[in-house]
Amino acid sequence: MNSALFKYQLKFYLFSQLILFGLRVCFLATYYTAVVHAPVSDLILLFAIGFFIDSSVVAVCILCSLLISFFIGLLFSYSQRIFFLISFIAVNIIFFINIVDVFYFGQFGVRLNQYALQEYESPETVLPMIYHEYPVMWILLLFGLFIYLFFNLCRRNFQKYFIDKSLKSAKWFLISLLTFFALSFLYYDGPFWKLTSFSSSSLLNQMSSNGAYTFIKSIAQNSIYKKTLTIFPEIADSTAVNFVKNISVHADEISLSNKFPTQRKLRTPVVQQKKNIVIIICESFSAAQIGILGGKKLSPQFDKWSSKGILFTHCYSNGPRTHFGLTSVVAGFPSIIGSSLIRKKGLNEFNTLGNILHDEGYITKFFYGGDSNFDDMKLFMQQGGFENIFDITSFKNIRYKNAMGVCDEDLFDKAYSEIFNGNLQPNLSVILTVSNHAPHRVPDYFLKSNPEVKRMSDKESTFYYEDYAIGKFLNKCATTVQFSNTIFLILADHGEVYELKDQNYKVYHIPALLLNTSHASGNFDSVCSQMDFASTLINECGYNGEYHFAGQNLFSIDFKPFAISRNTEASLAYHYENKVFFTDLQYGGDSYYFLDSLSYPSIKFDPSESERNSTQNFLKNYLEGLSVIYRDGLYQYKSSHR
């Protein structure tokens, strides 16, 4: 090898990058109407991240071609010509994949992945469909012409720099390896897919990637998922998926897709003005402290507002951490198959209420009093369609701040000014409170004006303060014209911390309240969980399109009451009727309890054989179904513009 060939490799790399840049421009042009209002900063990031990932893909091709041609050259001569052919073929495969990607995205809403292989399991059905749906012959003809022109360009440059037949110079061989290893960014600390979650637009996120990368990475990711997410491999994938589908899709809904099992829409469209949605997720807002639910009576404001809406008396969190609750509430997918679905996401787009309503014309906002990067919340919400993120960096005039962030009053004041600002465009807002979290400190001025707080413990006082801030916010909202056209959901991310004496159950039982729905006020006493509210809200706000949430619409006539909760390891609680079934997937052991009047485990009992079989079969099939849906990227929604 010599310096001349090294120059050829650099030119080859730059030509390839230029072509991939052009293909990304074509991708953008194809779906321009869907991103026409995207911020300029997002478009700049799109091409910057695209260059980064394209560089990795091309550089890896050159590296592999160098190594293969080098080892072949140990046995044969002409190793430089071998390098030319291998690198040329490899990069053209990349080009072809990225061309196909434009059309694949239009059909499935994602970049090319391993499931493209599954489309060809029935070639007699798929190939005619592709031929009739897409300009296949024109694509092949133009790609053939492109290969011819690109080949001649590469050949002329290769002949210009070609000197000897083999890769003889160890110096230039090493320089080539180091250069393209640097351009491959294989040493980058963190998976590339995290870079592609920079925008609230799923389309822009997908566009910033590279089809060859997503295809290869998805195969590797799927291999990992089969090891880490397949919980009960004895259950056939199709059986498990259909089990979840039959629970999620109700009689008043139409199933829309064989590929995406939970994708559906209302059978009879609702004709009404689009309603705003405000979701308040309250930190550690346990049912054990809610007076109207039989708790410690630390919630006078929540109790007062409960009479004006629908109170869910037997609602449970799907997990014990904030990110569990955020995933379950906003994405309608119960976080019960792993410790953190946000971090486990990988290549799967995790579509949420934000994606759907953003595409429907809603302004989407997320408010958090602390650092939104904590637990990858910002990453999750941005890729989930929330275009406006407000966190501790957004606050100027702060009443009070502790280690976790600004106080809830500051948070709600910011949210109020951004939501109820006179803009008539519908909006979806998620507010995540922070005051009721360690170090459990309330503002000094609140202590002075509320002397009853001095008799409380630190945890009780912050709970009481959180309730006060919620009530103050709702009272203020009620004075606006927009209030009656805004659905409010107030619920907890999780309950109190674990306590062994109650089987850790206080961490799961949470209050939930819906205001301004189409249903009469009162108590909803059936068992439900956080994951059910996404489907409920999407049906209540006047949206008549497609949605995909695993959770049920709480107001469907054939709603199936149950809830499943998971701790940070592998212990699960399955709530049904007035009972709970505990099981541990890691260490084994099962137990059954009756629930008392406060919905806590009270009396342990041995179920009949039929009840034991039914509860265990339900849990196994449901968990395995969710695992397959998540693992195989079947948790998608396909909006009208795609």
d(CA 417, CA 468) in angstroms, rounded, equals 19
- Sketch out the chain's domains with CATH numbers: 3-224 (no CATH), 237-631 (3.40.720.10)
Nearest partner of 473 among 429, 428, 409, 422, judged by Cα: 409
Instruction: Specify the 3-state DSSP secondary structure of 272.
Output: coil
Q: What number of other Cβ atoms are within 10 A of residue 599's Cβ?
A: 23
Q: Which residue carries 């890896």 as its tokens?
A: 60
Nearest partner of 591 among 484, 529, 504, 491, judged by Cα: 504
Nearest partner of 474 among 488, 485, 464, judged by Cα: 488
Mutual angle of helices 237-248 and 609-631, in 10-degree steps: 100
List the structure tokens of 118: 């599954």
DSSP-derived secondary structure letter, 370: S
Question: pLDDT by residue (tens digit) across 297-309?
Answer: 999 999 999 999 9
d(CA 159, CA 141) in angstroms, rounded, equals 27
Q: What number of other Cβ atoms are within 10 A of residue 497's Cβ?
A: 13
Strands 509-515 and 310-316: antiparallel
d(CA 265, CA 263) in angstroms, rounded, equals 7
d(CA 286, CA 495) in angstroms, rounded, equals 4
Strands 253-255 and 264-266: antiparallel
Cα dist from 209 to 2, 188, 506, 533, whole Å: 34, 16, 43, 32
| Length of the chain in terms of residues written | 642
DSSP-derived secondary structure letter, 401: B
Residue ranges of the chain with per-residue pLDDT less than 50: 75-76, 166-167, 347-348, 500, 640-642
What's at 125, amino acid-wise?
Answer: T
d(CA 203, CA 101) in angstroms, rounded, equals 12
The reported pLDDT for the residue numbered 231 is 77
Q: Label each residue of 213-226 as H, E or C.
A: HHHHHHHHHHHHHH
The reported pLDDT for the residue numbered 641 is 38
d(CA 635, CA 345) in angstroms, rounded, equals 11
The reported pLDDT for the residue numbered 123 is 63
The reported pLDDT for the residue numbered 533 is 98
The reported pLDDT for the residue numbered 501 is 57
Q: Label each residue of 3-33 as H, E or C.
A: HHHHHHHHHHHHHHHHHHHHHHHHHHHHCHH
DSSP-derived secondary structure letter, 387: -
What is the pTM (predicted TM-score) of this model? 0.76
